[in-house]
Structure formats: C-alpha cells, structure tokens
Structure 1
Amino acid sequence: MTRARVLLLNAALGPLDYRVPHGTEVEPGSIVVAPLGPRQLLGVAWEPDRMPSDAEVGDNRLRNLLAVADVPPLRAPLRRLVEWTADYYLASPASVLRMCLASTSALEGARTVTEYRVTGEVPPRLTPQREQALERIADRQGLIRELATIADVSDAVIRGLVKSGAIEAVEVDIDSPFVPPDPDHAAPTLNPGQSEAAAALVAAVADHRFEPTLLDGVTGSGKTEVYFEAVAEAIRQGRQTLVLLPEIALTEPFLKRFHDRFGVEPVAWHSGLRSTQRRRAWRAIAEGRALVTVGARSALFLPYANLGLIVVDEAHETSFKQEEGVHYHARDVAVMRGKFEQCPVILASATPAIETRQQVALGRYAELKLPDRYGPAEMPHIAAIDLIAEPPERGRWLAPRLVTALTETLDRREQSLLFLNRRGYAPLTLCRTCGHRFQCPNCTAWMVEHRLTRRLACHHCGHVEPVPRACPECKGEDTLVACGPGVERIADEVALLFPEAKTAVVTSDTIWSPAKAAEFVGRMEAGDIDIVVGTQLVTKGYHFPNLTLVGVVDADLGLEGGDLRAAERTFQQIRQVSGRAGRGEKPGRVLIQTHSPQAQVMQALITGDAETFYAAETEARREAGAPPFGRYAAIVVSSEDQPCALEIARLVGRTAPKVDGMHVYGPAPAPLAMLRGRHRYRLLVHARRALDVQDVIREWLGALEWPAKARVTVDVDPYNFL
C-alpha cells in the first residue's frame, strides 16, 4: 500500500487518506499514528471501499503516516462490528472505534511496574492495624494503594510495613503472560437436564458455527456450570471466550467460581482496573494469549484474536444498555459480534427479555431450558403481604408479618435479605414549616438524603452537598423531615427491631469495586451478616446457601413512571431477588409487600406462572406496535440555553418527514427537563418493524443545522425514557 485510508479517533472527522512511507507495512486494521495539523492522532487503516472519503486527494498532497503500532491489526470481524454499530445506533464510526482502543498504553513498548507483596517477616512493632493488613493481604500482590484498599487501612500502614521488611517491592513485567485455564481442573457432576444442555452448547463451539442460544433456567438451576462446559470446549480448542456481566460488583464472585472450576482466574476487564492492568489485558487479548475474558459491556469491543464463544450472563439486565456516548445494547451487539466472528452466543437468564423470547419464537435463536434447581434445593415459597390489609406500624415500613418472619429466621441462625431499589435514606427531604424541597441545582430532580455520609446527593449528575442545620428558605432549625424510605432508613428500622442482628447495607454506594464485593461475599459466607438490606445490586449472581428469607419492601416501586417495560422489569427484578432464597438445602421463603396483590405482575410472581404473564405482556406490546413488534428511537435536544434548546427541538419537530408507518411525537420537555445543567426536549419516533428508521433519521437530521451550543442525540431502541 502506498496510501492508506485512516479512520481517526476524532468523531468530528470522516476518514482521511495518508501516504504510507517507504519500507512501512500497513494493512486494513493496522493501528497507526497520523498527523492532523500540528497534532498527532491515533487511527486505524480501513478498506477504502467500506469507508468512502468526502474528498479525493491526489498523492502529491498526502502527508506521511508517522508510525504503525507494534500490535496485531484489528481483524475484519471487529471492523465489520464497528461499521454495523455505528450504522445501527446512528453514531460516528470514530466513537465506536474508540471503544476498541480503550488502552492507549497498550500500543507502547514493553514496561515494568513496582508492586509489593508480603515477605513472611514479622515486623518488630505489630500493631492491630498492621496485623489486620498482613492477614488480609495474605498472598496478594499489588500497588501500595491497592493493598491498603484490600486491607482497609491507610497507605501509611502499608508503607510502614515496607520499611520494616514485612512487605517487599518487586519489579513486575506488566505484560507478563496469564496462566491458561485448565478445562479439566474440576469438572462438575451435572444432572441429566444440565448434561443435555451442556452437550448442545459444546457441539456449537466444536462446530465453529454462529448460533445464538437462550439458556433459560430458573435461579439456582446451575446455568453457570452448564455454560462453563462450553467455555471448557473453547479452551481445549485454543479459542477465546468472552463472558459479559451486567455489573462490576458481580465480577469478583464470578472470578471465584471460575477459579474453582478452571484453577485460575480469567482475565478481567472493567472500569475498576488501573491502566497497567488494562494494558496487560488488552495486549494479551489482541495476541490471543488471554483465553477467557470476563467483563462489563465495554469488553465486547476488545480486539480478540480468535474468538470462539460469547456468553451474556443475566442477559435480560437493562444495565447492558449504554446510556452515554454510543447508545448501544451489549446483548444485541454481542449477537452481531458472534455473527461476524462465526461463533456461538449464549444468552443466559432466569427471566429472559420479551425481545429475546420473541427471537426464539421466530426460530432465530435456539432455546435450552433448565426448569429445576440443582441438587436438593427447591424454589422458594412466595406470598404477598397486602399493605392495605396488613399495614406496617405508624412510622415503620416493614409489615408485622415480615417482621415476624425476620424474627423466626434470626432464631434459626439463618440469613435474610430485604430488597428496596432505592439508595440513600429517603428520596425526598422537605421543611415541615414552609414546605421547601431540596432540588438539585443542575437537574430537575430531588436531592436524596444519605445519612451514612451525611450528604444530600443527586443520583443523576452526582452533585452533593451537606445536609443543612436550618431550612434555607424559612431559616427554621430542626424542621427538615425525610419523606419515604430508602435502604438506609430500612436498615435503621431493622437496627431498632433487632439490635443484636448484624446488618449490612448493599448498594452501589457501599459496593463500588470488585474488592468491596469480595469483602461482602466473604462476610456472608462466614456468617458475619444476619440481615442484608440492598438494592438491585443483590438481586443477581450471588449464591448464599444460608439465606432463606427475602422480603421485598415495596414491590410497587418499579411500576411507577409509565415506562414501557415497567411491569416486565418489576417481574424480572423481584423474580431475581426471590431466587436468592433457599439456594441450599434449607427451604426458602419470599414475602412481597404490595398495595396491589391482585395486579397481573404480582399474581405471576406469587403463582410462579411466568408464561401467562409474558404472554399477556407480549400481546399488549403487539397491539401497541411496541418493541419487539415495532421500533422506537428517541431524539433528545439539549443546551445550557433553554430558548435555544426549545427552538432547535421545534425545528426538528417541524421538519419531521412524512413516512408511511412512522409517527413522530413531540417535542416535549423530557421527564428530566434539566440534566447536568442542560435543558432537554424530547421527540419519540415510533415506526413499524420493517422500516429502516435509521436511514430516515439520518437523512432528516443530516439536512438540518444547529448552533454548537445545542446538542442533538439519538437513542435507537431506548430503554431509559427519562
């Protein structure tokens, strides 16, 4: 190649042509450094016929490429995925490509880093904190900051242990190879149903064929053990596996289960990694040395050298939908990556999304069912508590029957879980004298009181401020009152009712890293926690055999707001959290507090009749032409200048094309009319399934112009209607 078409990591630019210097080899997929004015930008060489340029430039006007990175080129299947994702989600190819090159340090040469480990020497002065640090670090190795986090001590304690010789420094090659997993390390004993499902998945991996499969198993049925057999087959073939998890907090429990099965941990990929860990993982994945990667949705765009299997665990989870930047859904993009790579894709879930179930009904996805729990464990008994007939005591949030059940569970030395999907102490704080409410200065949202940190926080933009002593409006002291419950308030009630019980609050505020998740799991397994009070973070992935009671504090909460998927999401969430009970030999029990026990979703949960619920929900979607039977796309116009945002939103609405089978609603103020200081207006496009709505929107918006201070974003297949 004497010239190369390069897609730069700049969303404002299209592909540009460069001259390839003599003696330099560039092929499609090569990662290059290219000049742009006085700057140097990263980019990837692309096939000219797949990435047309706006202007053809003669050879004599081309600038030379500056360098080619010493890493494998991005393979054709990944380049096709970049093109498809950009086209489907109406994003710039550069924005998608940036996710593939998520570790720029991986493109540099070899490097080392200083880490620290315990030597076994006992320091002369063994304080309680030093003893705790040495005990918790054990055989782990890492940076001083990491060891301090693991040990829950200050950096100074670790530095003191280094000086005393109890901890030593070691120079580590940050690209050191990962130990390959052993597919025969601890092969499980599967029951007949599991063996049959595993055999089908193993066959798909062995045949190197693209086949999306829904692995639909009740909670506790052993779905992980089943798809681990497919992972083992991919390892035997020397091919790579990607396992996607919806939450970073689930990574640590998964790593432990994987280690028990395969003898080593897989390669992890998530936002909690430091840059050197990301570099090592990225290079090992690109070179094919990392055989199994487990990660959050961003792991989907890594440059796997030889991908043989993709697993999407908890595939129904809405957190697989990216809400910032490129608005992709990892479940759907995973299926497309499997298609481009010609490898099987497993969607594992106890409560599959209606979109996935419809693909099975159409014959596009295969389905494997695991209807029973593994071993002696049985599904928990589920009952509703009618809050109108059995209200909690005044000023309390737990009904008498749930309190009695908690007492009985504590008496049996078993563990309980109280679920409420609302962080903080209370969703609203107001002044009882003048009625003043605390609102976020950047968003149209109320500030949420967090008593553990003594802060008011906005859960949309992250703004925090201390709780004032006096009302800022009327200046009255001791007049502020918390309205409604959050998990912290429920934890306070539990502490009043059961002062001897050991309670843990589990939310994204307390479990923000895999290390914190591991600490929580360790305490649960050691019996150091009697009652867990948590949000949706504890509804999935955890296996605690001694947890026998689940109480859903407010089952109606998820049904508020008029969301298209509200009933389905409520069913999934409560069914998942119910599945935490009775996973061992002890029977489980679930009590659901609701004001509407006769509602269809509540009856489905109580009776366990998921099929009738899904059939009714599916039919309602079909009649409304809603997904998966129709298409939605949200267009959000935002600006710090409210008149500007309104003017551009009206322009977008006025120029909406008249297309058969497509309707445009709005503009109207978004439910969150201001977010992070930007005023927002929303239009909703509703189209029939067969219409290529992306082409219509691309042509429609492409003909418009708006000032730089306004921003127009498109969310294809939206999940968040705020």
Structure 2
Amino acid sequence: MVKNGLCAEIIVDLAVRKTDRVFHYAVPKKFENVLQIGARVLVPFRERCLTGYVVGFGAPESQVNIREIAGVLDEEPVFSPELLELARWMSESYLCSTAEALQRIISPRLQVKSGRGVRRIIPALDGEKLEQAAASLARAPRQAAVLRAAMASPGLTVKELAAAAETTGKTVELLVHKGYLAAVNNTSQAPPGYGGPQFTAGYGELQLNADQATALEQIEGALKAGRFSVFLLHGVTGSGKTEVYLRAIAAVLQEGRQAVALVPEIALTPQMIELFRARFGSLVAVLHSGLAGTARYQAWRRVKSGEAPVVLGTRSAVFAPAPRPGLFIIDEEHESSYKQDDHLRYHAREVALKRAQQSGSVVILGSATPSLESYLRAGPGGLYRLLKLPVRIDNHPLPPVQVVDMRDELKRGNRGIFSVPLVEAINRRLERHEQVILFLNRRGYANFVVCRQCGLVIKCPSCDISLTYHLDGTLRCHYCNYSTNRPVLCPRCGSDDIRHFGVGTQKVEEEARRLFPEARVLRMDSDTTSRRGAHERLISSFRDGRADILIGTQMIAKGLDLPKVTLVGVINADTTLHMPDFRAAERTFQLLTQVAGRAGRGSLAGEVQIQTYTPDHYSIIAAAAHDYESFYRSEAPVRRALDYPPFSHLARLLLTHTDEETLTKGALLAKEVLEKIAAGVNIPVDVLGPAPAPMSRIKGQYRWQLVLKGPRRNTLKDVIKEALNILDKERPAFKPSVHVDINPQGMV
C-alpha cells in the first residue's frame, strides 16, 4: 500500500556513495497515520533490515519491485526540512553520504530512546547562589564538586552525577536533602529557582564601553532586519566579547527566535554556563559530547520543542534542532577544534554559515586572533563586516611580554626546560601568593630538528614546511614526500649542537615540582581530563586558589577568566612554530596571544614570558606586541606566494591499509588517476604526494596521504569524486580505504 497514493521516499542508513540516493517503499496501512517526513524507519534492504530516513513521499520513476516498510522508529520527526537540506549540503560539501550527515545531525536522539521515568538531579538554586554554596563548602570538597558538576551537566542520574564528581550517591542525596539540588523525573521541567528569561540581570552593573555599544548596535540592526549577516568581532583578550554575545542573544530572543553559541573546548563550558544561566536561567540548554547520553538527549529535546531557546555547546551543538534560529555565535572562531578530524570531516563554522543562510540568521565570529580566512573575508568587498574591540574592559592594560632567547640560556650553560628569568618570575609570584600558568602545546609526535646555536630549523626546499624527524634518522616532508638524512652539522653555522626537539607537559610538571617544591601544581592535558567532569574540577580547583601553578596544553590557552593569574610562562614557542604545517606560524601567533591574554585579567598587573630558540620570527614578535595586524601583514604575503589558503583551497585524501606495500601501490595508483583527471580541467590543480602521514601507523593501519591544491573548492571536489568512482571500479585490485578531508585544518 501507499500513503495518499504515494510511496515513502527513504534514504537508507549506509555510508556508501553508490547507495546515497532515495529508495521507494510502500507504507503498510498500520503506519499510514503515524509515518511523517523526518522520522526513522526500518526497511528491508537486500538481505538485511536497515534504518532509513523518511525524506518525502512520491512515486518511483519506473516500474520497480516496491517493498514495504518493516517498522517505524519515531512517532514524530527527528529532523526538520531545514536540517534535511543541511544534510544534503553537507553530503555535497564534504563528499559524505546524506545518511552520514543525518546521523551526525540527530546523534543525541540516536544515543537514548527515552528519558521518562528516570530520576534526575538538577540545581535547586540559580547559578550564582549555587556557586556561592559550592564556595562555602571548601571543607567538603566532594560536595562542592557535586554542585559544580550539577551546574555543568544538569539532568544526570544520581549515579552519573556521582561519577562525574568522583564521589558516591550518598553525597548527591545529602545535597538533595540540604535543598541545594532537586530530583525530578523529566529534565524538561524547568530547574526550580531559575525562573524565566532574565534579560536585564546584571545590565546595570556592566556598562558597555563605546566600542562594545557600537558593535552591539550593528548586530541588533541586523537581527531586526532578519537577513543573513556575518560579523567578525575582533577584540583583544579581555575586551568584553562575551557581554556583546549575551546582549545579542537577549535581542534575538525578543524577536521570538533562538540562539546557538559555540565554544571550542569542553573546558570552557562550565565558565560560560555560569554566565549564560546567570543571564537567561532555564532558557539555556547545554550540548556537548562530554555529557552523559541521556542528559544530552534531554537537552536536545528541550531545544527541539522551543523550551530552551539558548543553546551553548561545543562543535556538535551547531546541529541543535532550534525551530527558528536567528543567531549563531562562534567564539574563538579561529580554533582548529571546530573541524571534525575523523569520519565526517565538517567544519562547524561552515555549517553555522550555511544554517544562517537557510534561516536568515546573523552570525558572530569572535576572536582576538581571527583566522586568515575570516580576516580576509572581513576586508574591503568581503562577505563579513568587521567590528573591533581594541581595548580591555575598564582600560586594563594588556600584559607586557618578555621574549627569552633560549640560545643565550644554552650559552650560559643552562640546558634545562626553565630559563633563569622564568624561574625568577615564578618565585616572585609564589612569594606574593599569586598564580602562574605554564603553557606547552605538547604535540610530541611532530619533532623537528633545530640548531641550538643559530636557531636554524631544517625545512623542505619545495614546501617551506619543517621536516619531521623519524626514528630511522631521516627528515621527511609530509606534503610532497621530500626526504633527506639528518645533518650532523648545522648547514648554516656549522655547529654540531643540532637536535630534534620535543618536550611534554609531564616533563614540565616533574621539573616544576623539583624547582618549586612548596608550590601546589596541577596539570591539565588530555591525560588528566579523560574522565567526565575532570575539566570542571581542575579549573574550579585552580580558580578557587587550591593550586599555585597550572601546567597545560592549548585547552588552558583561551577563554578562561582567572583573575588571580599574574604570570604566564610559555615553555617553548617553537613546539608549534616548526610543526610540519603551513599554518604553523598562524597557530603559534594565535596560541601565544591567547595564552598571554590569561594574565592580568583582574586587579593585579600581569606579565608573560615566552621561551624560544627563534625570537626573531615575526609571529613571536607580533604576539609579544599583541599586534594582530602586524602578523597578518607578514603572514599573508607568504601564503599568497606559496599559493596556500586563504588564497587557494586544499583537499586531503588519507589512504589506510594493514599492509604497507599494498597501501603504497594503492597510493601511487590514486595519484595517477587524480593527475589524469586534473589534467582535463580548465584550472590548475596540483597533486602533491603521496607521502606517509605524520602519524604513519595507527592501530595497525598504515597511513599515506595525497594533497590537492587549487583555486576553487568545487573543482577539487569534482576531481576527487571522479577519481573515487574510478578507484571503486578498480576494486578489489585497489584495496586501501580512502578518507576525504576538504580544506583540512591540519595534515596529521
């Protein structure tokens, strides 16, 4: 049977390109009144029964054998027409299947089928009062940890909340008995005490400066006009970008629409949750992968129903099912963490821009260090409008930065991790009972070779990218596969003091404890934050003064507001500067500027020390001066001359296989096919490689890559699509798996 004379049009949940099309299925009579567009169903497909997505109703173009739907999984749509359009755009933009895109969009719905009848814990006080309660429980740290975990992730079960706070269910129940927390059966219920929207809470205390007021005026004008607009909010660290976000959200709520705000790291969400809930109460829903599945699903439902019109989260929150989105905010828009680096390799900034185009929304891209792509688009004739916040709130000064030349330290006989000036500065701060942040981006797999006498870094002659040191003693370019032996003597100064470099945060922690035995030291990296709630506990502990020194990677470099921090030390700026990546200078400037911005945000003056073997590099000089325009003027001509983004587009094909010889043959065949197709297009497309990926073997899979470069993104996609079709026909002779990344943020 059919529904109203038509069959159901269904996309079958298979991540295979040749099945990425609509299939027609008959609708049994028992499902006629319940089946809707946007629902999931079970359908027979070949010899299996698979999940499918209903995308419409229609008749097949030719006489085919129509099979019946086997079951209906959803009584109501789990995606809207707008999100279906978005999935189809993602399929075209990122060369994935529509089913893969839909899976990503509705993933919170897939994790948990029902949240009814489960006892869940939510705050019983508003955010400010609960934070005060947590602070008052200094002698009961487990109870304080539970309260902060409940603020960060409302709606967890007793067991989940206890696990997040690393305590027992008895502690949770005790806080419910005290009235700090409440137990409910459905997290769609508004948390007691939060009340409704609080559009004016705190406004009288937070007076906008002239730059903030000008920026907000332009944003509010675009919101009232209801037209797609993009603003690049370029503000120095501590300039009050968050207050502009909050007032823009209040403005869009008054228009009867919703706001989606993204932050780049889970570590930033507790602080932002506190700010957002203080302003908007129960209207806020939090969405990120660190939440328990059920809590994430309940938040997703509240957004979908319109009950929570303010969404705060990390990358995946860009798919929040807001019924009438009017504002998308991407905080720290330059961050590479907005790019999904496996499976469906989407970029949250691009997805937000597409959703805003669909819905006539406003996009705010905020950063103290915008990506070159965004800054170029905010120039004359660009798509974006540039808004500037050039000074800190209350005219607090930016911290002075001292660049420490580690070559001089070496000449004085200091071969340790810490320079003498940094040790002296840390001791001064500890004597004053102030706090210190020590930053190191420990991507230890990417060792580079540097002369410790003159600072020369060995680079690829063709790509101007630092060569990666391999254990067999060779140096290799992971773009074009150029290789050479590691020199014994420096090619520039003749010194034999030439080393491959790489120090991790654990080594820094060990040395810090040795040098400063009385100091309380915390380390925050991927090893110490793997458990749920660890980010919140570490940051809360440091913010509450229970540690003197915080050592961490890039997760502590941005967004955090820690008023007691008066010294930031960068252990080695060269770790990122000489990565085998054309964005290395940009990322170094961004990280140094962002981490420097953690110092001196309160009433006490701050300072920054940057240790480096390359003190004369323009990215370090510009970061020390807090001068983005200077960096852009130096970096943009280099990118243009080498034809790198934002003046071109890249695409990366990662090939994997368990047998290296089979993989090598497949990579060479892929290159041959790509070059043949590229030769037939009317614009230049370069095919670089194949070369082993920087991480050349993971979980038993060898990895090689090819990189395509050209002036038009669509041309690169067309070349890759045709090549993949040809390679599919070559199977089983062509055996490697192929993963496509359009405009990759890195080459690892």
The answer to whether TM tops 0.5 is yes
Contact residue 11 and residue 23 of structure 2 kept, 8 A: yes
**2:45 corresponding residue in structure 1:** 36
For 2:335, the equivalent position in structure 1 comes to 317
Query: How many percent of aligned residue pairs carry the same amino acid?
Result: 34
> What's the counterpart of residue 33 of structure 2?
24
Give a deviation string over 1:392-448, Cα, whole Å, max 9, x none: 8645211111111111112222111111112799999xxxxxxxxxxxxxxx998xx
Q: State how 1:158-557 maps to structure 2 within 5 Å.
A: 170=183, 172-176=185-189, 180-187=196-203, 188-264=206-282, 266-361=284-379, 362-391=381-410, 394=414, 396-422=416-442, 485-512=503-530, 515-557=533-575
* 8 A contact 2:446–2:579 mirrored in 1: no
Aligned length: 659
Paired with 1:166 and 1:208, the residues of 2 have a C-alpha distance of 43
**AA at the equivalent of 1:585:** S
The CA deviation string for residues 108-162 of structure 1, in whole angstroms up to 9 with x for no partner, is 566221346999xxxxxxxx9996544554595743433433543356x659979
Deviation of residue 608 (structure 1)?
3.0
2: CA distance, partners of 1:36 / 1:425: 44
How far does the alpha carbon of each residue in 1:584-635 deviate from its partner, in whole angstroms, 9 at most, with x for none?
2222111111111111112112233321221221111112221111111111
Contact 2:78 2:106 in 1 (8 A): no
Q: Which runs of 5+ in 1 are unaligned?
A: 120-127, 429-443, 447-481
- Asked if 1:97 is matched to 2:102, the reply is yes
The structural deviation recorded for 1:260 is 2.6
**Counterparts of 1:168 and 1:407, CA distance in 2:** 42
Counterpart among 653, 674, 691 of residue 697 in structure 2: 674
Distance in 1 of aligned mates of 2:391 and 2:175: 52
Cα deviation, residue 582, structure 1: 0.7
Q: Could you tell me which of 663, 673, 683 is aligned with 1:655?
A: 673
Query: Structure 1 405/321 Cα, relative in aligned 2: closer, same or farther at 3 Å?
Result: same
Given that residues 129 and 153 in structure 1 are in contact (C-alpha distance below 8 angstroms), is that contact kept between their aligned partners in structure 2? no
**Alignment correspondent of 1:440:** none
The amino acid that maps onto 1:5 is E
Quote the Cα distance in structure 1 between the aligned partners of 2:319 and 2:36.
20
Other structure's SS at 1:228 match:
helix
Q: Is the 8 A contact 1:218 1:372 kept in 2?
A: yes
Equivalence for 1:641: 659
Give the drift of 1:382.
0.9
Residue 434 of structure 1 corresponds to none
Deviations 1:352-396 (A, max 9, x none): 000101111242011110000001421010111111113486452
Instruction: Quote the offset at 1:714 in angstroms.
Output: 1.3
Are positions 1:64 and 2:69 aligned together? yes
Structure 2 CA distance for partners of 1:60 and 1:220, relative to 1, 3 Å: same
Distance 1:71 1:176, change over 3 A: farther
Residues 1:76 and 2:81 are matched in the alignment: yes
**Residue deviations 1:298-347 (CA, integer Å, cap 9, x gap):** 12223221111110111000111111111111112211111112100111
**CA distance in 1 between partners of 2:714 and 2:110 (Å):** 43
- Name which of 585, 588, 597 aligns with 2:615: 597
> Deviations along 1:505-542, whole A, 9 cap, x unmatched?
11122234673233233323322221111111110111
Structure 1 Cα separation of the partners of residues 447 and 651 of structure 2: 30
TM-score in terms of structure 2 length: 0.81
Structure 1 Cα separation of the partners of residues 123 and 226 of structure 2: 45
1:630 and 1:686 map into 2 onto residues whose CA distance is: 7
Q: Which moved more, 1:161-170 or 1:84-93?
A: 161-170
Distance change >3 Å, CA 372–CA 166, structure 1 → 2: closer
Contact 2:44 2:67 in 1 (8 A): no
Q: Is the 8 A contact 1:629 1:689 kept in 2?
A: no
Q: Let me know the Cα RMSD of the aligned residues.
A: 3.4
Name the SS of the counterpart of 1:113 in structure 2.
coil
Amino acid at match of 2:507: R
1:203–1:33 Cα change, 3 Å = farther
Secondary structure of the residue aligned to 2:118 is strand
**1:87 corresponds to which of 88, 92, 103:** 92
Which residue, 686, 707, 710 being the options, matches 1:687? Answer: 710
Please give the secondary structure, in 2, of the residue aligned with 1:221: coil
1:200-236: CA deviation from partner (whole Å, max 9, x where unpaired): 1122222221101101100000101011111111222
- Amino acid of the structure 1 residue aligned with 2:159: R
TM-score, normalization by structure 1:
0.84
Look up the equivalent residue of 2:402 and give its one-letter code.
A
Q: Which has the higher helix share?
A: 2
Partner of 1:602: helix, strand, or coil?
helix
Distance 1:129 1:408 in 2: 27
Report the equivalent of 2:162. 148
Quote the Cα distance in structure 1 between the aligned partners of 2:520 and 2:598. 19
Query: Structure 1 residues 666-675 or 266-275, which shifts more?
Result: 666-675
Contiguous gaps of at least 5 residues in structure 2: 125-136, 449-468, 472-499
Contact 2:502 2:575 in 1 (8 A): no
Letter of the 1:45 partner, please give it: V
Give the alignment partner of residue 13 of structure 2, picking from 9, 15, 27. 9
Distance in 1 (CA, whole Å) between partners of 2:301 and 2:179 is: 33
SS of the aligned residue for 2:250 comes to: helix
Give the distance between the partners of 1:715 and 1:609, measured in 2 at CA. Answer: 32
1:114 paired residue number: 119
Structure 2 CA distance for partners of 1:132 and 1:523, relative to 1, 3 Å: closer
For residues 233-259 of structure 1, what are the alpha-carbon distances to aligned partners after superposition, in whole Å with 9 as ceiling and x for unaligned?
122233211111111111111101212
Give yes or no for contact 1:215–1:367 (8 Å, CA) kept in 2.
yes
SS at match of 1:231: helix
1:164–1:308: structure 2 CA closer, same or farther, 3 Å change rule?
closer
Deviates more, 1:597-606 or 1:20-29: 20-29
The 8 Å contact of residues 177 and 289 in structure 1, kept in 2 or not, is answered as: no
* 8 Å Cα contact 1:269-1:296 kept in structure 2: yes
Tell me the amino acid that sits aligned with residue 687 of structure 1: G
Amino acid at match of 2:166: D
2:466 paired residue number? none
Matched, 1:46 2:55: yes
Tell me how far apart the structure 1 counterparts of residues 347 and 242 of structure 2 sit (CA, whole Å).
22
What amino acid is the match of 2:534? K
CA contact (8 A) 2:438 2:550 kept: yes
Q: Give the equivalent residue in structure 2 for 1:457.
A: none
The answer to whether the aligner puts 1:697 opposite 2:720 as a matched pair is yes
Check conservation: 1:118, 1:137, Cα contact below 8 A: no
**Cα offsets for 1:647-706 (capped at 9, x unmatched):** 221221122211331121222222322222111221111112376221121112212233
Deviation at 1:94, TM superposition (A): 1.0
**Could you tell me how far apart the structure 2 residues matched to 1:332 and 1:606 are?**
31
Return closer, same or farther for 1:666/1:486 CA change in 2, 3 Å cut-off.
closer
